[in-house]
Amino acid sequence: MSARRTSAAAVLATLLAVAHLSAASPRPGVDWPQFRGIGAAGIGEGRAIATKWNIADGTNVAWKAALPGLGLSSPVVWGDLVCLTTAISGQKDAAIRPGLYGDIAPVDDSSEHEWRVMCLDKRTGRIAWERTAHKGVPAIKRHTKATHANSTLATDGHRLIAFFGSEGLYAYDLEGRLLWKKSLGVLDAGFFAAPEAQWETGSSPVLHDGVVVLQADVQKGSFLAAFDAKTGRELWRTPRAEVPTWGSPSVHEVAGRKQVIVNGWKHIGAYDLATGKEIWRMRGAGDIPVPTPVVHDGLVYITNAHGKEGAPVFAIRETAKGDITLAEGTTSNEHIAWSYPRDGGYMCTPLVYQGLVYIVKYNGVLNVYDAKTGAKKYQERLAGGTSAFTASPVAADGKVYFANEDGQVLVVKAAPAFELIATNEMASPVLATPAISDGRLLIRTASHLIAIGAR
């Protein structure tokens, strides 16, 4: 290890120790500080959550706020502040194209865009503040189903971190003051087999104990990096031999050592948060990884899907070390508790809730397993298997919520047998994962942020 890297590791170790003593802890059921909430778990317990609502007549709709531009970032929540991002095109007809299709061509839009961070009052939906992070022509094109604001914000109650891919990394305080910004160069994420198919970045930052963790798997020069949340200073950067991916990292502590866990195709793995050194690794199968790793009760759940190699589901022991890749024809080993080679989800992050793992495929096929043993409990086609599912499921109050691109939110009972409780129409496509806070579902549609719950 170089002297520079050793020094950076020492600084980071000190930073982590100090931040652990002073950082505010997110409150379960209230704060939703990153993609999929606390620990990317997607769970918001503590209050009863609405089962049925009606957007047209306002039943169980607390408020509805119009959003400018296009964005697939999920809402994040700290206290009474709910924040998200958007990118506003100079073309008046800019839109996304939802649905089940396989078109890889990017959108041709070379107009000047505005990248914006917006925070609203969680109680009323009124804008608390909004800031323009950047203006210019996008450095990378987007997919027809993507936007230039795909990445979800991250907050620790002191800072709000925004990642806009090639347009940079930004830090604000919760009153909207810009603390720092950082250019990371051009980050070209798209189909590895057709480099001209630029699709824009989608991985979201994680903010943990004063450290910003960013996964940037791109066409050339993929890396995982850590930054000082106070100053933006880069603490370490670890190269990754990986094709473009869109999953967000997860941070999890094992025996006092904090690990950064990432999805991938060539390199699923875990790294030491203090140094960036690899802890374990394995080769995946799905060649366009999107879902984020989820950790629960000693197991790391990872899934991906696409391509000829398969669509795996892995339940990996948190104590894994070294190369844990499965031998051909096997489904478990010393470090992998159980796996399935063909049941994986393409877009949706797994949900682990009340002893069950929920994995949704792109076409709405839902597979549910016993979290510990991997025994399959049931398989069901949500919405008849005719709608695309990009938003990841979330859960609360004994119910699991699945949003699809046709603008439906299906409510399913959390149980080892399938029971559909309700289907709610949002009147607009839903591709962003909902947030849960204080008994309200915060759902981003193509044009609005809607708070579901009592007024």
Residue 111 sits in which domain range? Answer: 3-452
Residue with tokens 């997607």: 42
How does pLDDT run across 377-389, given as a tens digit for each residue?
999 999 999 999 9
Query: Rounded CA gap, 347 and 292, in Å?
Result: 9
Structure tokens at 310: 């398969």
Domain of 302: which CATH number?
2.130.10.10
**Tens digit of pLDDT for each residue in 129-139?**
999 999 999 99
- In this prediction, residue 24 carries a pLDDT of 79
Residue 29: pLDDT band (50, 70, 90) is: very high
Confidence of residue 2 (pLDDT cuts 50, 70, 90): very low
d(CA 284, CA 307): 11
Residue 319 C-alpha from the chain's centroid: 24
Letter for the amino acid at 202? G
Instruction: Say which residues have a Cβ less than 8 Å from residue 203's Cβ, sequence separation at least 6.
Output: 151, 163, 214, 215, 216, 217, 245, 246, 247, 248, 249
Q: Number of structural domains, the chain?
A: 1
**How does pLDDT run across 336-367, given as a tens digit for each residue?**
999 999 999 999 999 999 999 999 999 999 99
- CA gap 360, 354 in Å, rounded: 17
Q: Are 32 and 79 in contact (CB under 8 A)?
A: no
What's the CA gap between 420 and 238, in Å, rounded?
Answer: 45
pLDDT given for residue 8 in this prediction: 52
The rounded distance, in Å, linking the Cα atoms of 136 and 246 is 23
**CB 301 within 8 Å of CB 295:** yes
Backbone angles phi, psi at 326, to 5 degrees: -70, 140
How far apart CA 139 and CA 115 sit, in angstroms, is 13
**pLDDT for 6:** 47
Residue the block writes with tokens 């919520």: 401
Report which residue type is found at 43.
I
Length of the chain: 455
The residue type of 196 is E
Q: Could you tell me which residues come within 8 angstroms of residue 25 by beta carbon, excluding any fewer than 6 positions away?
A: none
The 3-class secondary structure across the chain, one letter per residue, is CCHHHHHHHHHHHHHHHHHHHHCCCCCCCCCECCCCCHHHCCECCCCCCCCCCECCCCECEEEEEECCCECCCCCEEECCEEEEEEEECCCCCCCCCCCCCCCCCECCCCCCEEEEEEEEECCCCCEEEEEEEEEECCCCCCECCCCCCCCCCEECCCEEEEECHHHCEEEEECCCCEEEEECCCCCCCECCCCCCCECCCCCCCEEECCEEEEEECCCCCCEEEEEECCCCCEEEEEECCCCCCCCCCEEEEECCEEEEEECCCCCEEEEECCCCCEEEEECCCCCCCCCCCEEECCEEEEECCCCCCCCCEEEEECCCCEECCCCCCCCCCCCEEEEECCCCCCCCCCEEECCEEEEECCCCEEEEEECCCCCEEEEEEHHHHCCCCCCCCEEECCEEEEECCCCEEEEEECCCCCCEEEEEECCCCCCCCCEEECCEEEEECCCEEEEECCC
**Cβ within 8 Å of residue 438, ≥6 positions away:** 29, 30, 47, 122
| pLDDT for residue 454 | 86
| 8 Å CB contact between 118 and 84 | yes
* 166-210 confidence digits (pLDDT tens): 999 999 999 999 999 999 999 999 999 999 999 999 999 999 999
Digit-coded pLDDT (tens) for 396-448: 999 999 999 999 999 999 999 999 999 999 999 999 999 999 999 999 999 99
Q: What is the pLDDT of residues 237-249, one digit of tens each?
A: 999 999 999 999 9
Q: What is the spatial distance between Cα 144 and Cα 433, in angstroms, rounded to a whole number?
A: 18
pLDDT in tens, 216-275: 999 999 999 999 999 999 999 999 999 999 999 999 999 999 999 999 999 999 999 999
Q: pLDDT at position 343, please?
A: 97
The pLDDT confidence band at residue 19, using thresholds 50, 70 and 90, is: very low
374: pLDDT strictly greater than 60 = yes
The mean pLDDT of the chain is 95
Q: What is the mean pLDDT of residues 308-335?
A: 97
How many Å is the Cα radius of gyration of the chain? 20
Rounded Cα gap, residues 335 and 262, in angstroms: 16
